[in-house]
């Protein structure tokens, strides 16, 4: 059974940093692109980042480019999201999601971890 | 960026009804579209991929279709378990984008 378990969320002040983790199991992690998708309270879904199988290629929307960094450790079947210079508009539930190839749907999602950016 | 305009933003229907939710893509995305169902406090669940392909385990009451740049999710024989928010998603190119969501409630 595919499982994605996020951790690392919490309350953080504007301008500070936070690192999210996602532990994957139930599939060969190194064979899949992985992504982060977020959802602000009572809002729609917003794609945040995608990383290739080896980690050599990463993709971001303009809203987080230069502030967020996605990475992975295939030996640990783990995905990460380093978030720097956080803003109030980054407040959201962050989901880890399994993609497929370069451009693909999200077949599996974690339960999400809430990040609140507030002073 | 590709804009996905989803409609309606909310709707109410009765048990047994057939409902249709639509997403209009701002440019050609081929069949690179998926649909997700999200229940309150839960993560999204994949329902349809490739515009028309039913994900394993999803009831056949759900179907996806395409007409040009208009993509539709149709639910037949609506049941209480179908309540939730439905999201469309284009994966034709980066940045990946989602529609604004449709909240479906049963009367």
Interchain CB contact of B81 with A (< 8 Å):
no
Distance from C-alpha of A107 to C-alpha of B38, rounded to nearest angstrom: 13
Q: Which of A1, A5, A45 to mutate to test the interface with B (most CBs of B within 10 A)?
A: A45
Cβ–Cβ gap B95/A112 under 8 Å: no
Across the interface, whether the CB atoms of A105 and B94 are under 8 A apart is answered: no
Residue A78: the pLDDT is 98
**Measured between alpha carbons, how far is B6 from B25 in angstroms, rounded to an integer?**
9
Chains A, B: CB pairs < 8 Å: 58
What would the pLDDT profile of B35-60 be if each residue is shown by its tens digit? 999 999 999 999 999 999 999 999 99
pLDDT tens across the length of chain A (119 residues): 999 999 999 999 999 999 999 999 999 999 999 999 999 999 999 999 999 999 999 999 999 999 999 999 999 999 999 999 999 999 999 999 999 777 899 999 999 999 999 99
CA–CA min distance A48, chain B (Å): 9
Beta strands in chain A (DSSP E): 3-7, 10-12, 18-25, 34-39, 45-51, 58-59, 68-73, 78-83, 92-98, 108-109, 113-117
Point out the residues of chain B with pLDDT beneath 70: none
For residue B11, the SS3 value is strand
pLDDT of amino acid A102: 75
> What are B57's two structure tokens?
């385990």
Partners of residue B43 in chain A, C-beta under 8 Å: 95, 109-112
Chain B residues near residue A107 by CB distance under 8 angstroms: 46, 49, 55
Taking alpha carbons only, the member of B106, B39, B25 closest to residue B72 is B25
Nearest CA in chain B to A65: B95
> Does residue B44 belong to the interface with chain A, where contact is any CB pair within 8 Å?
yes
Q: Is A20 in contact with A78 (CB distance < 8 Å)?
A: no
- Structure-token pair, residue B15: 């048990």
C-alpha–C-alpha distance, residues A52 and A33, integer Å: 5
Q: Write down the residue that tokens 């380093």 correspond to.
A: A82
Rounded to whole angstroms, what are the CA distances from B95 to A5, A38, A63, B10, B78? 25, 14, 10, 26, 33
pLDDT at A15: 98
Alpha carbon A103 to chain centroid distance? 16
């Amino acid at each position: 059974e595919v499982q994605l378990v996020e951790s690392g969320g919490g309350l953080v002040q504007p301008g500070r940093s936070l690192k999210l983790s996602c532990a994957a199991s139930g599939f060969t992690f190194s064979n899949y692109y992985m992504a982060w998708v977020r959802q602000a309270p009572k809002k729609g879904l917003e794609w945040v980042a995608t990383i290739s199988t080896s980690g050599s290629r990463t993709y971001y929307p303009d809203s987080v480019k230069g502030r967020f960094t996605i990475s992975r450790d295939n030996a640990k079947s783990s995905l990460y999201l380093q978030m720097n210079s956080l803003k109030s508009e980054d407040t959201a539930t962050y989901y880890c999601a399994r993609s497929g190839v370069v451009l693909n749907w999200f077949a599996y999602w974690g339960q999400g971890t809430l990040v609140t950016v507030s002073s | 960026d590709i804009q996905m305009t989803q409609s309606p933003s909310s709707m109410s229907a009765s048990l047994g009804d057939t409902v249709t939710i639509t997403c209009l893509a701002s440019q050609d995305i081929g069949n690179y579209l998926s649909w997700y169902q999200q229940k309150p406090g839960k993560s999204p669940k994949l329902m349809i991929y490739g515009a028309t392909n039913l994900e394993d385990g999803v009831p056949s009451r759900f179907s996806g279709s395409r007409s040009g740049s208009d993509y539709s999710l149709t639910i037949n024989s609506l049941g209480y378990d179908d309540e939730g928010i439905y999201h469309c998603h284009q994966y034709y190119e980066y940045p990946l984008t989602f529609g604004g969501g449709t909240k479906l409630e049963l009367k």
